[in-house]
Structure 1
Amino acid sequence: MQEGQTFFSLNKRMDWEHGLALNVNMQEHGYSIRQTEKYSIHRIVRTEEIEGTHRIQDMTVGPGRKLIVLDESANLWIYEDESRHVERLFRQGHHLFSAQAKLASMGDLLIVGDANRNSERRLAVYAISNGQTMWAAQEWDGLELFPLALATKVGSVHTLYSVIPLDISVGLNGNPEVPEGGRIGIVVWNAAGEVTQVYEALRFDEAVDVGALHARFDLAAADGTLALLDTKLRAVTVFHEDGREPLYFTLAPEGRFAGISIDTNHNLYIGDSGYAQQEGVVERFILKYRANGEALDKVTSFRGRTDKLLHDARGRLYVFDRISGQISLLDLDARTMLFDDTQLPEAIYFSAELDTTETEMEWHKIRLDAYIPEETQIRFSYFASDDSEGMIDGDYVSYTDYLTDPNVTIREKLEATQHLWSEPILNPKDALLMDARGRYLWFKIELLGSEMMSPFIRKLRVYYPRSSLIAYLPPIYQQDETHSPFLERFLAMFSTFFDDMEDKIDHISAYFDPDAVSGPYLEWLGRWLAITDHEAWGETKLRTLIKQAPELYKLRGTREGLMRMVHIYTGTEPFILESFQFKQMQETSELRQLFAKLYGDNPYCFCLMLKPEFVRTDTQRLTIEQIIEDQKPAYTECKLIVLQPWMYADMHTYLGINTFLSEPTLLTLDQGASMPYNTLLIDVDRDKRMDIHTRLELDSEIE
């Protein structure tokens, strides 16, 4: 309806890359504000929820995200968060370990390490399902075991890490101690309780009582990485399983650090165990570091005391506070990233020039295909000029080079070009470009998001030259300077409707192309061929049928047409047997009754045979029978025969089709054994010996 109108289209990533995008997540099918995953509190489990427990001393996460907690009476409890189901793992008063024990999990196994000398077992692995002991250790390499910290890899059922003193002596008070120059190490155990590797962590300058080390260390493990937190020295040592030198760094912020964990991206999380009231601590965050010691952001959604941190296989973070007895469950949620210059969840895009090659061009409108959630916004601004260069901030520059220069800050760019931009159009879907005249056009798009949501732009079209339905009205309506602009904008709404309708008419042929359509449009084409059972055919077969329809209609009612239809549906050539093919054999009196039983005696009846793997369900059988009914020649009957893969006399047995001759095979028994049809039971060592298988009264009789 509006002749001579063209447009610039930006609908691919390469189209947008000509401009400058800031804080933008650019994808092939559109762009939005960059987002990241941040932790937020999903739920808090308190001691009183776990019925029967006393004050919680330690916890770990078992299979299915079950919480396993140790209370101050040394009782172990398994708690299912969703169902709120609680059960005790060991009987009360078991004396296997004390309330000071450390817990970790490894698949469906529970690891308990106890540095208390009165404990029956220092390091033990139990089945979580029934409490059965898998293995236990009291000493290693001639030394008593004093497990100071435990860790396992997330999802691993093979490796356990324990922090233990590598040197032990007896102090003046008779208690075990790490002597001057003594070492603390990380010992690696396999699933059978064998030590496979030892890492030396640090040496002491003076003797230290083992009891004083009980709460000093925390350990975390991930694939290829180990991290040891020394709460006294406020330091982290990162070990690498590939043999690289360990990395050592200290924690700069103030705080009493406790608890360390590693996520799937090998980022370190370290908690703060400071007391808010006694020590005047205002805010306590979980700190996040890269594995190289570089400080990242904080987990700001959690502000509280931390004694232990754990990650599970799905990335959930568990935070345990021993004083309050609370276990906080933190899940990762998508969060809109903040723009560095404004610290707001927003992004901005500056375009390169759109060049029409004609001066004094009057630009028409834009059409924006975008998803704009609630509490988000898109702002579109523009300016046009016949010159590609102009004065900006006292310098004569190329507009495109200046707008797309990443070295110019966003604040400088917005202030210097403020006089160029039009008033922003808010959330435009279809908007006229007013007073936009010139060969070139530049535009600016601002995306304003919320904490969790962002607008998403799929494509943008910029139309030119100016065209309006007002041109079809009498001149009096076009020449009224007061009312014509409003009338033009009013008619623009109907112009869009007509444009959409004409676009559909121009591309209506695409709806008749079976390779271009899918879903309901493909089914719609199928109904043109009287195919109503679309689910039975499926899109791939239906598309093939529609494309071959002209040829198939020419062959309808013929043997070839029927075979091609069945082949499209089943993917295999059927076997068709007609009466003339066995007429001569049927004249033999001995075979007449057999052939009548197999194929019938009606000369106008034929058989269509298929292997059973192509007719697995009743639905498939009914569909094939419907195809036969529609495609068979007039005044004929057809029997559908599903061939069975065996040989029976007087049945449909066809050598090379559903029947094969083979040598007998010996029966071999294993876990998945079955006796096939061609198997003989024989004695291998007595095979091929005269009379050896003939035993009177056993397998032979004399009559």
Structure 2
Amino acid sequence: MVGSEIKFLTINTAALWAEGLLEGTEIAGESLRLKSFHTHRYAGACGEIGAPAAFALARCGLIYVIDKRTGGLAVYDSAAGSYSRLAPLPTGRLRDIAAGDANLYLLDDERVYALARVNHQIRWEAPAPGAAALALGRDENLYLFDPAGAQVLKTGRGGAVSILIEGLDSPKNFCCGWDGFLYVLSGEAVLRFSIEGALLEKIAVSPPADLKPCCLGVDRDGTLYFGGRDQEGFPYRLDRSGRWERLGYRGAVSQLAVNAGGDLYLLALEPEHLQGQIVLLERVENYAGEGVYTSKWFDSADIGCRWHRFVLEADIPDNTQVLVSYCTGDVPDDLAAVFSQEVINPADALITCAGGRYIRFRFRFLSKNAASTPRVKSMKVYFPRLSYLRYLPAVYQESEPGKDFLERFLSIAETLFSDLEDKIEAITGYLDPAAVPEGFLPWLSSWLAVTRYDRWPAPKIRALLSRAPRLYQQRGTREGLEAMIALYLSRVSENGLVVDDSAAKPIIVETFQVRAGASGDDAVWGDLFGTDPYSFCVLLKPEQAPTGQDLNAVKRIVEFEKPAYTRAGVKVLQPWFFLEWHTYLELNTYLTGQGFVLGRSALSRDTSIVEVEEGGEVEVRARVGVDTALT
């Protein structure tokens, strides 16, 4: 078939899908699927963790617990299933806890404390009379809930406490959402505040009869969760549409928290066999059983056009179906247009209805498995009808029933050849580094003999292939090695393109350069750069190789690209000062102003007080594979 004779229209982006009518379906990424919703499934209690009075979730998965039997602090590792008590703390009877990335925050009857998570040393403490609960927001902003004073307090970095919100109406509880805002359960509403204390939204709350809210939480979608102390009641979810949904657990709850994945943790008061346990309700993603999508009207710009066929690109799991029908007409929104018989799970199908300038499609999605959904990625409709029948003698076209059968019979071969023609037309895309599909990058790399870098990120492989002719001309030279390392160390923009960055260029020191400018002790220079006249050293700034994987990648580049007769080393400069070691001004060492001298220094002018952790900071001060080895 001649390519210029046939035309097609397509839907293959989220914007194009959005032009149709969605009923029980939704757009996810660039594809169409059944409408999703989530539920929470009871997953049991979180092991033996004492008798928790309150708990806090850390982002790393640890659960910090206040044990009401001992009055002390304990930690539960949900991944390992281990529970351990921490050393006694010089605090009063603990009431609540919050866990940040660097600190733990504890509240007793009179004071609030900030403890370093690494060694549990107290960083600061401040008076907090009347405070009943803690909540931790972004950037470790700590908030204190004072129901008796009808207010919310906020602490500064050093523990200074100030009033953030006051004049609340019968406040019951509060929490910080994943969106960074503060939510307060006050009277018959949930109030959403900014971190500056400005009221942003008032959400009316009319709970079901079996819920008397006493605690709340918020997930990443802005969905609210409520728990109550009624032993016959249920925790509930309130979505943005105002719909209440009962969760899969029955009993009284004194505290709830939502982790980053949407899982719900409840501190159970009832039933008896779960009393005093932390219960996990796992978030489960489900899909509707049926949904319909009706496309916009496609316009062929030809009255009475005979539409030829449509092609569907879709993922259809077991126990799911996509049923496709269509209708045509010479005017859009034709009320008399009747949809055709449905075609089940079509990949390529002929259009057999009468002609018309316009055509529209209807997709019906079915799923017997709530955990799976069919996904339609794209659809193409071809026109006008130009089948292989026109190449046969006229006698084969005289009988209408025979003509219809032959058209459908010949369409089998036509589909195969059309697909081949499309692939042939698109073959140039497989030879273009910017357009080749990611799965074919290794194949194209083999043509240019750069398969040794197949573990690079895809955008950097594309950039390497496009620059390969020039890099081959420079191979074995200092400039070529610099260009290869700079390419790997360059950052990738949001649109997937490699950004040429002069900061990614390494420092290459050759032995003859050292000897030409060396002075002083030759042994020191030999320790730093070696004594082999055919050797060189590649120096990387601290930020250029933050992980051992980056360092190993640069070492591989140096090994493959250096001249065969030379020796080379790669060194990551450390961000601190050492005499007789790799210390270079303006690279990893900077001279500053006057240091701190008692009686002659002023804070904030020539002296700064900073916080430096001495341990527990793997990949911060100690980078595994770069300057630290695990033994």
TM-score (normalizing by structure 2): 0.66
Q: Which residue of 2 aligns with 1:545?
A: 468
| Compared CA separation, residues 161 and 613, structure 1 to 2 (3 A) | closer
Q: Which residue of 1 aligns with 2:331?
A: 388
Q: 2 CA distance for matches of 1:244 and 1:527?
A: 60
Equivalent pair of 2:485/2:557 in contact (CA under 8 Å): no
Q: Give the counterpart letter for 1:317 in structure 2.
A: L
Q: 1 CA distance for matches of 2:59 and 2:439?
A: 44
Matching residue within 355, 372, 397 for 1:437: 355
CA displacement, residues 461-493 of structure 1 (integer Å, 9 cap, x when unaligned): 212233334555666765666666445434322
Q: 2 CA distance for matches of 1:297 and 1:513?
A: 53
Q: 2 CA distance for matches of 1:305 and 1:446?
A: 43
- The SS at the match of 1:496 is helix
- The SS at the match of 2:314 is strand
Q: 2 CA distance for matches of 1:644 and 1:287?
A: 55
Equivalent pair of 1:270/1:287 in contact (CA under 8 Å): yes
Asked if 1:318 corresponds to 2:273, the answer is no
Q: 1 CA distance for matches of 2:423 and 2:327?
A: 31
| Compared CA separation, residues 518 and 31, structure 1 to 2 (3 A) | closer
- The SS at the match of 2:563 is helix
Which protein, 1 or 2, shows the higher relative CO under an 8 Å CA cutoff with sep ≥ 6?
1
- The SS at the match of 2:9 is strand
| Compared CA separation, residues 365 and 62, structure 1 to 2 (3 A) | closer
Asked if 1:84 corresponds to 2:77, the answer is no
Q: Give the counterpart letter for 1:274 in structure 2.
A: D
Q: Which residue of 1 aligns with 2:230?
A: 274
1:286 Cα deviation from its structure 2 partner: 1.4
Q: 2 CA distance for matches of 1:335 and 1:321?
A: 26
- The SS at the match of 2:464 is helix
| Compared CA separation, residues 561 and 489, structure 1 to 2 (3 A) | same
Equivalent pair of 2:165/2:197 in contact (CA under 8 Å): no
Matching residue within 142, 160, 171 for 1:194: 160
Q: Which residue of 1 aligns with 2:415?
A: 496
Q: Which residue of 2 aligns with 1:65?
A: 61
Q: Which residue of 1 aligns with 2:107?
A: 112
CA displacement, residues 283-312 of structure 1 (integer Å, 9 cap, x when unaligned): x2414266xxx8344354455432211234
Equivalent pair of 2:481/2:561 in contact (CA under 8 Å): no
Q: Which residue of 2 aligns with 1:7?
A: 8
Q: Which residue of 2 aligns with 1:288?
A: 238
Asked if 1:468 corresponds to 2:387, the answer is yes
Matching residue within 458, 462, 487 for 2:377: 458
Q: Which residue of 2 aligns with 1:31?
A: 32
1:388 Cα deviation from its structure 2 partner: 1.3
Q: 1 CA distance for matches of 2:464 and 2:184?
A: 56
CA displacement, residues 229-256 of structure 1 (integer Å, 9 cap, x when unaligned): 56xxx66555555454695855353232
Equivalent pair of 1:78/1:89 in contact (CA under 8 Å): yes
Q: 1 CA distance for matches of 2:205 and 2:451?
A: 71
Q: 1 CA distance for matches of 2:420 and 2:481?
A: 41
1:150 Cα deviation from its structure 2 partner: 0.4
Matching residue within 428, 442, 456 for 2:346: 428
Q: 2 CA distance for matches of 1:265 and 1:500?
A: 42
1:69 Cα deviation from its structure 2 partner: 3.3
- The SS at the match of 2:60 is helix
Q: 2 CA distance for matches of 1:302 and 1:9?
A: 47
Q: 2 CA distance for matches of 1:264 and 1:185?
A: 25
| Correspondence 1:505-524 to 2 at 5 A | 505-517=424-436, 521=440, 524=443
Equivalent pair of 1:106/1:158 in contact (CA under 8 Å): no
Larger radius of gyration: 1
Q: Which residue of 1 aligns with 2:95?
A: 102
Q: 2 CA distance for matches of 1:569 and 1:136?
A: 52
| Compared CA separation, residues 89 and 128, structure 1 to 2 (3 A) | farther
Equivalent pair of 2:325/2:339 in contact (CA under 8 Å): yes
| Compared CA separation, residues 461 and 123, structure 1 to 2 (3 A) | closer
- The SS at the match of 1:307 is strand
CA displacement, residues 325-357 of structure 1 (integer Å, 9 cap, x when unaligned): 342334545444x6xxxxx55241232142241
Q: 2 CA distance for matches of 1:320 and 1:14?
A: 44
| Compared CA separation, residues 452 and 562, structure 1 to 2 (3 A) | same
Q: 2 CA distance for matches of 1:517 and 1:546?
A: 18
Q: 2 CA distance for matches of 1:521 and 1:289?
A: 44
1:539 Cα deviation from its structure 2 partner: 4.0
Asked if 1:45 corresponds to 2:41, the answer is no
Q: Give the counterpart letter for 2:69 in structure 1.
A: S
Equivalent pair of 2:213/2:228 in contact (CA under 8 Å): yes
1:677 Cα deviation from its structure 2 partner: 8.7
Q: 1 CA distance for matches of 2:554 and 2:145?
A: 56
Q: Percent identity?
A: 22
Query: Structure 1 regions of 5+ residues with no counterpart?
Result: 115-120, 167-183, 205-215, 339-343, 390-397, 400-415, 553-558, 576-606, 627-638, 646-669, 680-703
TM-score (normalizing by structure 1): 0.60
Q: 2 CA distance for matches of 1:188 and 1:529?
A: 61
Equivalent pair of 2:471/2:480 in contact (CA under 8 Å): no
- The SS at the match of 1:218 is strand
| Compared CA separation, residues 122 and 485, structure 1 to 2 (3 A) | same
1:420 Cα deviation from its structure 2 partner: 0.9
CA displacement, residues 576-613 of structure 1 (integer Å, 9 cap, x when unaligned): xxxxxxxxxxxxxxxxxxxxxxxxxxxxxxx9998846
Query: Structure 2 regions of 5+ residues with no counterpart?
Result: 487-504, 509-532, 541-552, 590-631
1:436 Cα deviation from its structure 2 partner: 3.0
Q: 1 CA distance for matches of 2:192 and 2:555?
A: 59
Equivalent pair of 1:514/1:547 in contact (CA under 8 Å): no
CA displacement, residues 385-440 of structure 1 (integer Å, 9 cap, x when unaligned): 3x316xxxxxxxx42xxxxxxxxxxxxxxxx76x7111111221101111332333
